Structure 1
Amino acid sequence: MNKVVYILFFLIFTTVSAQEVEILDYYSKEAIVNVAVFNNDKSKTALSDLDGKCDISHFDTNERITFKHLSYEVYKVTKSQILKNNSLVLMVLKPEQLDEVVMSISKWEQQKKDIPHKIVSLNARAIAFTNPQTSADLLQNSGKVFVQKSQLGGGSPMIRGFATNRLLLTVDGVRMNNAIFRGGNLQNVISIDPFTIKKTEVIFGPGSVIYGSDALGGVMNFYSKEATLSTKDSLLFTGNTNLRYSSANNEKTTHIDFNLGKRKWAYLTSFSYSTFDDLKMGSHGPEAYLRNAYVSTQDGVDALVTNNNPQKQVPTGYDQWNLMQKITHKPNNYWDLDIGLFYSETSDYSRYDRLIGPNSEGNGLHSAEWYYGPQKWFMGNVQLNKKGKGKFYDGLRITTAYQYFEESRNNRGFQDPILYSTKEMVNALSTNVDFENKKIGDLRLYYGASYIYNNVNSGGSQKDISTNVVSDAPSRYPDGSSWQTAAAYLTGEYKAMPNFSLLSGLRYSHVWIDAEFDKTFYPFPFDDADLSTGALTGSIGFSWFPRANLQITLNGATGFRSPNIDDIGKVFDSEPGSVVVPNPDLEPEYAYNMELGIKKNYKDKLVFKGAAFYTYLVDALVRRDYLFNGEPQIEYNGELSNVQAMQNAAKAYVYGFEFGLEAVLTENISLVSNLTLTEGVEEEADGTDSPARHVPPTFGDVHLIFRNQNLKTDLFLNYNGEITNDDLATSEQEKTYIYAKDANGLPYAPSWYTLNFRTQYELNKEWRIGCSLENITNQRYRSYSSGIAAPGTNLIIGVSYSF
């Protein structure tokens, strides 16, 4: 009996006295190993174990304890505060780590310092600080990606002179590009909820070896947050709520997510909703951007009315909501299953650039209505992972996904009673099998295969708004057409020396297109498009540290883009007065890229990064004048229009330089700057050339950052250079209504700058308050090729609560 009492007393005493704390990454909630724990005079110390745990029972209740790790910000807190926080310590990763892990190059974790490609990573902490409205804004806030906008509900990234369907989007390793991704500006990236993103990795340059078609100029990988398992037998319940308001478009956003975790099962649920009013531009800048009048329709009659507030861009507002459900199951240390369900939907939203152009008669605007219907995206993704002990691999990942895309276009000319509409739906299936092999000494192999199938449904209609009579009209794409691809790849990373890594890979892809054309509305001179084409792409590069503080990278890569349904089978008005028709005789376009990078670290006080690149594009798919049944013009939506089609009619080259600077001025103050310079030319088959369309102006930023344990502030300048009329692409020169006028009355894109301030204060581990004042000097500007003017002075207030 005495022994039983003694054992019970011992267990109770041990439980009380052994005060164990768990140290986790603030955002990923992963355990942090080897955190040094000590008091002010270092007379008491501890070290976190493999589970991120350590015992602090020998520290006094009100004693101030320091938590220090090479990769994380130093964290100081009293023991009593730790115990109030359920014995949990959350540490924040430092902004730049030489040993940062990336996944985009091989789909498996690799040290960033061993990669010859330029990769920009944005983690959840950085995203939360910038507090972007959409994922397009998230990319733009990086200072390294240029973003074009035709409307408020949009954002089309440009990377190294490439854009739209020459860039690849992925979500959790699943390709988002589908068979109707177009060469014109895209807004699909806004379907990705920035509140759910754990990390974004942007690859600069071709990524076709791993990702196949479309990855010519770069790859944007979005990795969403995962459901978190409990490390104890008790239920883990955590969550976040966010509220945000922006004054320039009267944005009101709410977000909530919560996690339920047991040892083997975990569930993460997320919901976000945003509503945006019409966007207000700045006060100081070109008068050509002002919205002096807009079309108002009363009783079916269009009239041009004066805008009482010309800085208000009418109509640009819209609503959006996003849902995400994650399920994780980990039956043992070798297997885990991840299920992701995503849904995004917008309201109708106007394409603003189509609503500001004048009509040919000069008595109004070209369009009375031009709006996209709800943009819908659903993805169901199942990923099975296995670690170790395989005969030919150390890691196995099988990813299967289904996606559904829906979009529509609706347009009506000024004082025209007919509203023309098209609606597109894409069903996409994909399967990827990826292997990692680390067993061959200093050589690591990554290999796998993939299959993707897209089915496109497209329909058209026209409605007389005066009688509400609806009748059939041409569809945008061949209804029931399909696009599919199968591929296999092999890449290897060889650690030749501790300071020299070689990375190389090959991929073979085959693409099939099957489309039948309906001749009800147009007498097409062909019945179908039947494409079967293959492409072999490769890459080779190295990362070399001649000295510990100096890194040199060199990389060569090829990329390709196979024509898709949008290229081969589309019928649409590319711009007022022009119509694009199908062309089934297209071939893939190929890119050849070289990139040299350098990174120099001066005593951890100053880090300089530089990169130079050159990309040559052959058989470029471009929109050019065309003959349809021998005629240069046809009637489209009641208007005689010039005929154009996509053609392998050009070559192009793009080159440029990218610079980055990070300086530690004091323990709390740092300076960060980026600068990108790009030039590009398209060469026609007849030997003439013109500026490339998707080459942005010189752009950059400078950030002065202050941070301590609870406060971070950022005073920063954004800058865009000028593009003269001579340097505008021919297709851009024709869009006179979106550009300012130079001294000769010709369209051009003026330079601009904005001064901005951003801050975030952490009241405690539960509450954070963020505040930004953008465009403090209230500049009126339009980013290059954008149809909508940027916000004027914009106050953003955000509040978040974690539980």
Structure 2
Amino acid sequence: MNKAFFILFLFFFNSSFAQEIIILDQDTKEPIQDVAIFNSDKSKTALTTFNGNADLSVFNKNERITLKHIGYQTKKTTKNLLLKRGKTIYLVLAVEELDGIVMSVSKWEQQKKDIPQKVVSISEKTIAFTNPQTAADLLQKSGKIFVQKSQLGGGSPMIRGFATNRLLITVDGVRMNNAIFRGGNLQNVIAIDPFSINNTEVIFGPGSVIYGSDAIGGVLNFYAKKPVFSKTEEANISGNTTYRFSTANSENTIHADINYGKQKWAFLTSVTYSDFDDLKMGEHGPDSYLRQNYAETINNEDALTINSNPKKQVTSGYNQINAMQKIAFKPNNNWNYELGLYFSETSDFSRYDRLIRPSKDETGLRSAEWYYGPQEWFMSKIGMQHQGKGKFYDRLKINAAYQHFGESRNDRDFGSTTLNTTEENVDAFSTNIDFENKRIGDLRLYYGLEYVFNKINSKGFETDTESKQITNAASRYPDNSRWQTTAGYINAEYKAKPNLTLLSGLRYSHVWINAEFDKTFYPFPFDDANLNTGALTGSIGLSWFPKESFQVTFNGSTGFRAPNIDDVGKIFDSEPGSVVVPNPDLEAEYAYNADLGIQKNFNDKVIIKGAVFYTYLVDALVRRDFTFNGETEIEYHGELSNVQAIQNAAKAYVHGFEFGVDAYFTEHLSLSSNLTFTKGIEEEEDGTESPGRHVAPTFGDVHLIWKNDKLKTDLFFNFNGEVSYNNLSSSERSKDYIYATDSNGNPYSPNWQTLNLHTSYQITNKIKATLGWENITNQRYRTYSSGIVAPGTNLISSISYQF
């Protein structure tokens, strides 16, 4: 009897166990929690556990069931087929739902479908697959953001006709923009290590309600990886090591990260070192892009040296180290504390576009040396989160951060013995308090306060390269100048109907500048620059689903940028043929924006997305002709130069559209494409119009993607349209040495196309190899406004080991 009972128990036990499946992510092989499993009328349901397990015993053998999870493609099958496939089921990420939850719009998690703004998310998996060398390449490889490069060690994003200090960059919620972010192309984004990024979210259009000054064209939010706690009493140790090599610049990159987690404490360490040689351009393209010769100093004498390989861009190589340490403490489910330490430093690196400037008689080169000293960035951040019964909130975040930025510029004219150096150090302190309140029915409120303080130390000196004697010289900015802002905001999300969400917000910001000018070197007609101004910005938008498969979004918003120290206090910064002088009489510039978006889903097979936008910028801060002590031209570094300054001297109109298609042909084969068109005009006070400087050409891509459990392959085509001479801004026309020449002898930016291939293969559960073959046809091209020529054919290989 006992034996019969035992046999019967085993039968039922095995039957039940045999009906249990595990559901994993196809790419990472990680379990997926909360996958909903249900039959046709939803009378029978099951849900996966945190280990990805689910029991199918409730379903009949041949019953049709659906597996559904936000962020993954829905799978429909029968219970019998699932069990026959070995009980392990893989779900494929849906491209459109990769970022089903976004953080950037309110600083708290929100459903993407409820957001009226366009938000693009770039996941850790996408970053690992595309294998970008820098964070600038990470953005460019998304296909939705245009990136300009003045040198190999750089990358300046352009979004909807705006760039540089009209875009805001944040890292883990802390603003990276500081008081000396300039209007010229900025390269600071390379301080962010792609290997340390968990997710990147880009808001298109003004984001000043939440982020304040500078968020006119968009906001780029980089969220770094977080320490992972152990779910059991046992300590959890995991990590990753990666080696990468690229042929176009002989890149050698080594990365390692390790996570040690217990139930209440977790530690994450990440380190990356990269070494890049001089970049090699492609074979087929304009001969004017070739580096025929370069300046070389031999026995203290400058000489023009013939370049033995004109496709090699001498000197453009550099190296960089990035490190991150995070410590997290979770005493209970309601409180979470985190300390983050971030560090990045480059070697010296040449500003390549200045090294190729011809001399005035065009017989040689203007500069013998032009390089940036090490670009340093350090940030320490302390964060606290509380979830619970606060009097005025359901969740609270407090972040306090300190950042240090260090940079220098060094230039010496060809044949000169004077090396000019300016050195800047910025100390930035910031505090943010953000609340979420979801107690008022269908209304969810987000509100908070912010304070930011920047102190700038700036020095200048000249070095005699023969005698090595160092003498003081004018600094780039007023030394010990200060920039600070304080602000408060409120943002509301209202679920008016199940298919209609409204989002609206207001922010008030106040900005102060204090700068005193040193008259030792120049007779300034003023003693100081003091700014005390406020700005009110707002937004209103809606997300509406007339049908379940059709979405309409509308957003109207304002943005602003308050003048910073670079605008009001830049002391004699040289541009080709011009010199920029301080101007303390500036006001904030304002942007008024509207955009309309649509998205249509055709039976989960084809998704079409489109958006049109229009932005009007008033009191635009632009560099224009000026006078210094009544003079329109002054001698600077031995050259008679036209005097210019930053002024509220223009308006700007930017409009365009963005279009995308995702198509899923089979479970393994899909297609994705993007197209962006932008048009921009700057209007002077006298009514004169000219093309906008930071308006990118028409650009886009088409990807054909195939993947299974172990292999993923992406064959894609990138293209950029032409920017004719008539569509070049006046400041770009003056830099004819970086452009090709049209049939009339005028500079212009030609169109270009590249064919590329990325692939990754999961060799074992712990080892993954990736291979990229970029610019397969070896085109020689420069992206618009870039000083350096893009890579020629480039083979990128990497191997990763996870433990």
Common fold, TM-score beyond 0.5? yes
Amino acid at match of 1:748: Y
Name the residue aligned to 2:276: 276
How big is the shift at 1:618?
A: 0.2
| Mean Cα deviation higher: 506-515 or 97-106 | 97-106
Distance 2:170 2:435 in 1: 19
How big is the shift at 1:707?
A: 1.0
Q: Is 1:689 equivalent to 2:689 in the alignment? A: yes
Q: Is 1:116 equivalent to 2:116 in the alignment? A: yes
Q: Look up the SS of the partner of 2:97 in the other structure.
A: coil
CA contact (8 A) 2:26 2:709 kept: no
Name the residue aligned to 1:712: 712
Name the residue aligned to 1:526: 526
Amino acid at match of 1:250: S
Name the residue aligned to 1:601: 601
CA deviations over 1:114-145 (Å, ceiling 9, x no partner): 00000000110111110100000000001010
How big is the shift at 1:751?
A: 0.3
Name the residue aligned to 1:475: 475
Q: Is 1:552 equivalent to 2:541 in the alignment? A: no
Q: Look up the SS of the partner of 2:679 in the other structure.
A: strand
Q: Look up the SS of the partner of 1:280 in the other structure.
A: coil
How big is the shift at 1:764?
A: 2.5
How big is the shift at 1:30?
A: 9.1
Amino acid at match of 1:275: D
CA deviations over 1:174-194 (Å, ceiling 9, x no partner): 000000000000111000000
1:500–1:68 distance in 2 versus 1, CA, 3 Å: closer
Name the residue aligned to 2:664: 664
CA contact (8 A) 1:98 1:113 kept: no
Alignment of 1:25-424 (within 5 A): 32-35=32-35, 47-49=47-49, 51-52=50-51, 54=53, 69-70=68-69, 71-72=71-72, 93-97=93-97, 100-424=100-424
Q: Look up the SS of the partner of 2:654 in the other structure.
A: strand
Distance 2:718 2:603 in 1: 28
Distance 2:318 2:506 in 1: 44
How big is the shift at 1:714?
A: 0.5
CA contact (8 A) 1:156 1:163 kept: yes
1:135–1:225 distance in 2 versus 1, CA, 3 Å: same
Amino acid at match of 1:620: A
Aligned pairs, number? 768
How big is the shift at 1:22?
A: 8.9
Q: Look up the SS of the partner of 1:165 in the other structure.
A: helix
How big is the shift at 1:46?
A: 7.3
How big is the shift at 1:677?
A: 0.4
CA deviations over 1:160-180 (Å, ceiling 9, x no partner): 000000000000000000000
Distance 2:27 2:477 in 1: 43
Name the residue aligned to 1:680: 680
Q: Look up the SS of the partner of 2:359 in the other structure.
A: coil
CA contact (8 A) 2:445 2:491 kept: yes
CA contact (8 A) 1:204 1:217 kept: yes
Alignment of 1:596-745 (within 5 A): 596-745=596-745
Amino acid at match of 2:611: A
CA contact (8 A) 2:668 2:707 kept: yes
Name the residue aligned to 2:466: 466
CA deviations over 1:356-411 (Å, ceiling 9, x no partner): 01111333101000000000000001110011211211110001000000000000
CA contact (8 A) 2:368 2:413 kept: yes
How big is the shift at 1:638?
A: 2.5
Distance 1:680 1:55 in 2: 55
Over the aligned positions, Cα root-mean-square deviation in angstroms equals 2.5
Amino acid at match of 1:511: V
CA deviations over 1:546-574 (Å, ceiling 9, x no partner): 00110000100000000000000002434
CA contact (8 A) 2:37 2:68 kept: no
Amino acid at match of 1:800: S
CA contact (8 A) 2:98 2:121 kept: no
Distance 2:355 2:578 in 1: 17
How big is the shift at 1:88?
A: 12
CA contact (8 A) 2:755 2:775 kept: yes
Q: Look up the SS of the partner of 2:95 in the other structure.
A: coil
CA contact (8 A) 1:453 1:485 kept: yes
1:174–1:301 distance in 2 versus 1, CA, 3 Å: same
1:23–1:172 distance in 2 versus 1, CA, 3 Å: farther
Q: Is 1:578 equivalent to 2:583 in the alignment? A: no
How big is the shift at 1:300?
A: 1.2
Q: Is 1:506 equivalent to 2:506 in the alignment? A: yes
CA contact (8 A) 1:328 1:336 kept: yes
Amino acid at match of 2:351: R
1:91–1:198 distance in 2 versus 1, CA, 3 Å: farther
CA deviations over 1:321-377 (Å, ceiling 9, x no partner): 000001111000100011111000000000000000111133310100000000000
1:516–1:468 distance in 2 versus 1, CA, 3 Å: same
User: Which segments of 5 or more consecutive residues in structure 1 lack a partner in the other structure?
Assistant: 1-9, 39-44, 59-65, 76-86
1:23–1:257 distance in 2 versus 1, CA, 3 Å: farther
CA contact (8 A) 2:294 2:305 kept: yes
CA contact (8 A) 1:596 1:612 kept: yes
Distance 1:568 1:221 in 2: 27
Name the residue aligned to 1:80: none
CA contact (8 A) 1:27 1:124 kept: no
CA contact (8 A) 2:46 2:56 kept: no
CA contact (8 A) 1:571 1:579 kept: no
CA contact (8 A) 1:318 1:349 kept: yes
Q: Look up the SS of the partner of 2:471 in the other structure.
A: strand
CA deviations over 1:702-740 (Å, ceiling 9, x no partner): 001101111110110000000110110000000010000
CA contact (8 A) 2:72 2:97 kept: no
Name the residue aligned to 1:41: none
Distance 2:620 2:217 in 1: 13
Amino acid at match of 1:439: R
| Alignment TM-score, normalising by the size of structure 1 | 0.92
CA deviations over 1:21-40 (Å, ceiling 9, x no partner): 997879999974333799xx
Amino acid at match of 1:470: I
Q: Look up the SS of the partner of 1:566 in the other structure.
A: helix
How big is the shift at 1:431?
A: 0.2
CA deviations over 1:606-633 (Å, ceiling 9, x no partner): 1110000000000000001110000112
Name the residue aligned to 2:542: 542
CA contact (8 A) 1:654 1:679 kept: yes
Amino acid at match of 1:48: T
Distance 1:37 1:98 in 2: 20
Q: Look up the SS of the partner of 1:96 in the other structure.
A: helix
How big is the shift at 1:504?
A: 0.2
1:644–1:99 distance in 2 versus 1, CA, 3 Å: closer
Q: Look up the SS of the partner of 1:249 in the other structure.
A: coil
Distance 2:350 2:267 in 1: 37
How big is the shift at 1:639?
A: 2.1
Distance 2:606 2:136 in 1: 30
Q: Look up the SS of the partner of 1:587 in the other structure.
A: coil
Distance 2:331 2:72 in 1: 31
Distance 1:604 1:54 in 2: 26
How big is the shift at 1:320?
A: 0.3
Amino acid at match of 1:126: T
Amino acid at match of 2:218: G
CA contact (8 A) 1:20 1:53 kept: no
How big is the shift at 1:581?
A: 0.5
Name the residue aligned to 2:81: none
| Mean Cα deviation higher: 574-583 or 254-263 | 574-583
